[in-house]
Amino acid sequence: MSDLTRRAFVRSSAGAAAGLTAIGALGVGEADAKPTKHPAHKAQKHSDSNSVVAWLGNPHDGRITIMAGQHEVTIHDHTLAAEIARHVN
Amino acid sequence: MSSHREAPATSKDPVADNTDTYAFVSPDKPNTVTLIANYLPFEAPFGGPNFFEFADDVTYYIYIDNDGDGEPNVTYEFNFEVVLGNPNTFLYNTGEIDSISSPNWNRKQFYSVTRTDQWGPKVLASQVPCPPCNIGPFSTPSYEALAAQAVQTIAGGRTVFAGQRLEGFYIDLGAIFDLGDLRPFQSLHIGQMANAVGVNSTSQFGVQSIAIQVPQSDLARSSGWGQWHHPDAVIGVWAAASRAKATIREGDGIFGSFGPPVQVSRLGNPLINEVIIPMGKKDLWNSLSPSSDSQFLSYVQQPELAGLLPALYPGVFPNLMGLTAARADLVAILLTGIPTGIVPGFQNYTGSTYADELRLNLAIPPTTKNPNPLGVVGGDLAGFPNGRRVFDDVTSIELRAIAGLTYPLVDKSYTPDGAASLVTDGLTDSDTTYLSTFPYLGTPQSGYNTAPLSAIAS
C-alpha cells in the first residue's frame, strides 16, 4: 500500500469510526441515546434480591447454612435437613 | 513467578489471582507509602474485544498488620463495577478514547475504596474511574496521558489508581519451569546446554494493578514509626482477593452471588506460595490469614528448592548440600522479619508470630540515587525484604537466599558456596520499564504494537 493510499485509508477509517459512534447512538433508541449507567454485572445477576440459598454441607448432621446477600446464618434442624436431602436422593 | 498462576485454583480464576504485592516508602514523596496489589497475570495486550478489567464479583484487599499478630489492623478494600454505555454493540470502543469519560469508551469500570481500622469501615471514595486498556493508535493514541487521568486524589491526602499496567515483575519462567534451568548457568545443569542470556517471560504482558499512596500515619501503630529501631516503625503488608461463598447460575446468563466473602488468593512475600508451599497445600494457603502460617513453618525451614539446587547443579553447591539445619535465616526474612543487630542500621522484626507478610520499616528513607534492585543483600536497605519496590530483583534475591547466601546471618560458621552470591535467572530491572512517579509500574503496551510470542532455539 503506498503512503498516499495509506493516508487516505486512515482518513476514511477515522471517518468510519466517527460514523460508527453515530450509528450506535441512532440504533439504540431515544432512551439509550446518551450513555447510561448499565451495570453489566448486576444485569446478569439474579433478578430477585430477596433470593435465598440454603446449603447442606452434610445432610446427616442437620446443619443448614442459609445465605442471602452477603449474610449467612447457620441453623441446626435434622428434620428439615433430612427432608431437603430426601428430595434430591 | 512471584505468584502468577501459582496455585491450582487461582490458575483457573485469573481475575482473582493476586500476582504481585509491593510496599515501599514513595521515592518522590517520602512522607507517604505506596501499596500495590496486582491481579490477572499474562494479559496479552491484544486481548480484545473484551479487554481486561477487574471482576465485579471479586473483592480486592490490601491488608496492614501493625502489631505483629498476623491479622490486619488496617484494611483497604476495593470493589469494582462495570458500567456499559451501549449494550447493543460488540465494540469496546466506538471511536477514539481521548478521556476516561469519553462516550466512545463503551465498557467503563469504576470502583470504591473503603478503609477499615479499629473504628470500623469508612468509604474513602466511590465511583472512582479506571482507565481503559491500551488498545492501539486509533483507539488510545495518547495512552499515557489517558491513564494518568485515572490517578485520583481521595480523602485524607491519599492517591489511588486501578487499571492496566505493564508487568513489572521479570523472570525467566520458560527456563526455570524446565527443571530449574537458569540459562546463564545451564552448562552446569544436569541437562548441560551452552550458557545463554535470560529471557524475560513476562515481557510486554499487562496486569491489572491497584495502587494506593497514603501517609505513614495511615498505617503505623503509633508515632514511633519515625525511628527505624522502634517496633512501631515496622508494618506487615499483604494483599488478597475474595469471592462470595456461593454462586448460583440459573442459565440465560443469570447468576447470583450469596454469602460472605471467602478468601481465594493472597500474597505477601513474592514466590512463597509459588516455590515454598507444596502443591497439595497451595489452595489452603491462599484461603488463610498470615496468622495461620505457623503450620507452613517446616516448608520455610527446609525449602524443597534448597535440596534441588545441589541435585540439578552437581558440584556447584556442596556447602548447601551439607546444610541440614532448619533455615532460621529464611524464617526471619519471610515469617518474622529481621531483628535489630543482624544488619547494621536495619530491622523489620514484627515479633515471634510466623506470618508471611512484606515487612516495611517506615523510617528507612527511600534510596533515590542508584537504588540497588538486590535490596538489602545488595546493601540497599530501602529494598526487599524491607518491603518491596516495583523494580526489586526478588527472583535473584530469593534464589541466593535459598542457596545459602543469607545463612551466615544466623550461623557465622557457615560459608556459602561461591555460586550462592551469583545465582540468577539472568534478568535485571532493565528488562521492563517503570514510572518515576505514582503508580510507578510502567505504561502498558498497546495491542496494536504487540507481536505474538516468538520461538527461541534450544
Is B447 a domain residue? no
The amino acid that residue B333 corresponds to is I
Please tell me whether residues A52 and A82 are part of one structural domain. Answer: yes
Once rounded to an integer, what is the mean pLDDT over residues B417-433? 95
Is B446 a domain residue? no
What's phi and psi for A23, nearest 5 deg?
-60, -40
Out of A13, A36, A41, the one facing B56 most closely (by C-beta) is: A41
CA of A89 vs chain B CAs: smallest distance (Å)? 20
Q: What percent of chain B has pLDDT over 90?
A: 93
Q: Which of B80, B94, B99, B138 to mutate to test the interface with A (most CBs of A within 10 A)?
A: B94
Is B449 a domain residue? no
Is B208 a domain residue? yes
Once rounded to an integer, what is the mean pLDDT over residues B129-137? 98
Residue-level pLDDT at A6:
42
Distance CA B427, CA B419 (A): 16
Please tell me whether residues A20 and A45 are part of one structural domain. Answer: no
Q: What is the DSSP letter of B346?
A: B
Residue B107 has pLDDT above 60, yes or no: yes
What's phi and psi for B136, nearest 5 deg?
170, 180
Distance CA B305, CA B351 (A): 26
Residue-level pLDDT at B194:
97
Once rounded to an integer, what is the mean pLDDT over residues B333-350? 97
Contact between A17 and B138 using a beta-carbon 8 Å cutoff: yes
A45-54, B4-13, B18-27, B327-336: segment of lowest average pLDDT: A45-54
Query: Which segments in chain A show pLDDT lower than 50?
Result: 1-45, 47
* A54: its cell numbers: 440454603
Is B79 a domain residue? yes
Please tell me whether residues A66 and A30 are part of one structural domain. Answer: no
Distance CA B21, CA B196 (A): 30
Neighbours of B240 (CB within 10 A): 28
Whole domain around residue A29: which residue ranges? 1-36
Distance CA B172, CA B183 (A): 8
Once rounded to an integer, what is the mean pLDDT over residues B24-47? 97
End-to-end Cα, chain B, rounded Å:
22
Per the CB < 8 A criterion, the answer to whether B278 and B299 are in contact is: yes
Please tell me whether residues A13 and A48 are part of one structural domain. Answer: no
* B338: its cell numbers: 529481621
A35-49, B299-313, B360-374, B402-416: segment of lowest average pLDDT: A35-49
Please tell me whether residues A27 and A61 are part of one structural domain. Answer: no
Helix (H, G, I), strand (E, B) or coil at B54: coil
Distance CA B442, CA B202 (A): 13
Please tell me whether residues A52 and A25 are part of one structural domain. Answer: no
Among chain B, residues having any CB pair with chain A shorter than 8 Å are 56-57, 81-89, 91, 94-96, 103-104, 107, 138, 244-246, 248, 250, 253-261
Is B316 a domain residue? yes
Contact between B259 and A27 using a beta-carbon 8 Å cutoff: no
Per the CB < 8 A criterion, the answer to whether B256 and A45 are in contact is: yes
The predicted-structure confidence for B226-278, as pLDDT tens digits, reads as follows 999 999 999 999 999 999 999 988 888 778 899 999 999 999 999 999 999 99
Residue-level pLDDT at B1:
60
Once rounded to an integer, what is the mean pLDDT over residues B85-96? 94
Please tell me whether residues A2 and A16 are part of one structural domain. Answer: yes
Is B379 a domain residue? yes
Residue-level pLDDT at A48:
66
Residue-level pLDDT at B61:
98
Q: Chain A contacts of B95, Cβ < 8 Å?
A: 17-18, 20-21
Q: What percent of chain B has pLDDT over 70?
A: 100
Distance CA B174, CA B200 (A): 9
Q: What pairs with residue B36 in β-bridges? A: B22, B211
Once rounded to an integer, what is the mean pLDDT over residues B422-436? 95
Chain B's closest residue to A22, CA to CA, is B94
Helix (H, G, I), strand (E, B) or coil at B121: strand
Per the CB < 8 A criterion, the answer to whether B239 and B61 are in contact is: yes
Distance CA A29, CA B313 (A): 69
Please tell me whether residues A27 and A43 are part of one structural domain. Answer: no
Which of B23, B75, B95 lies closest to B440, judged by CA?
Answer: B23
Residue-level pLDDT at B2:
78
- The C-alpha cell 496489589 sits at B37
Per the CB < 8 A criterion, the answer to whether B71 and B16 are in contact is: no
Q: What is the DSSP letter of B273?
A: I
Out of B57, B87, B258, the one facing A38 most closely (by C-beta) is: B87
- The C-alpha cell 500500500 sits at A1
The predicted-structure confidence for B295-318, as pLDDT tens digits, reads as follows 999 999 999 999 999 999 999 999
Residue-level pLDDT at B254:
79
Per the CB < 8 A criterion, the answer to whether B211 and B440 are in contact is: yes
Whole domain around residue B390: which residue ranges? 10-431
- Count of the separate structural domains present in chain B: 1
Please tell me whether residues A43 and A63 are part of one structural domain. Answer: yes
* B71: its cell numbers: 491479622
Residue B399 has pLDDT above 90, yes or no: yes
Please tell me whether residues A22 and A61 are part of one structural domain. Answer: no
Once rounded to an integer, what is the mean pLDDT over residues B272-286? 95
Which of B329, B384, B336 lies closest to B360, judged by CA?
Answer: B384
Please tell me whether residues A32 and A61 are part of one structural domain. Answer: no
How large is the angle between the packed helices B304-312 and B394-402, nearest 10 degrees? 80
Helix (H, G, I), strand (E, B) or coil at B61: strand
Distance CA B61, CA B262 (A): 12
Please tell me whether residues A58 and A79 are part of one structural domain. Answer: yes
The amino acid that residue B451 corresponds to is A
Neighbours of B28 (CB within 10 A): 14
Distance CA A19, CA B366 (A): 51
Out of B138, B253, B254, the one facing A13 most closely (by C-beta) is: B138
Helix ranges (H only) for B323-435 are 328-331, 394-402
- Count of the separate structural domains present in chain A: 2
Is B112 a domain residue? yes
Asked if omega into B439 is within 30° of 0 (cis), the reply is yes
The predicted-structure confidence for B180-211, as pLDDT tens digits, reads as follows 999 999 999 999 999 999 999 999 999 999 99
Per the CB < 8 A criterion, the answer to whether B130 and B108 are in contact is: yes
Average pLDDT value over all residues in chain B: 96
Residue-level pLDDT at B67:
97
Residue-level pLDDT at A44:
47
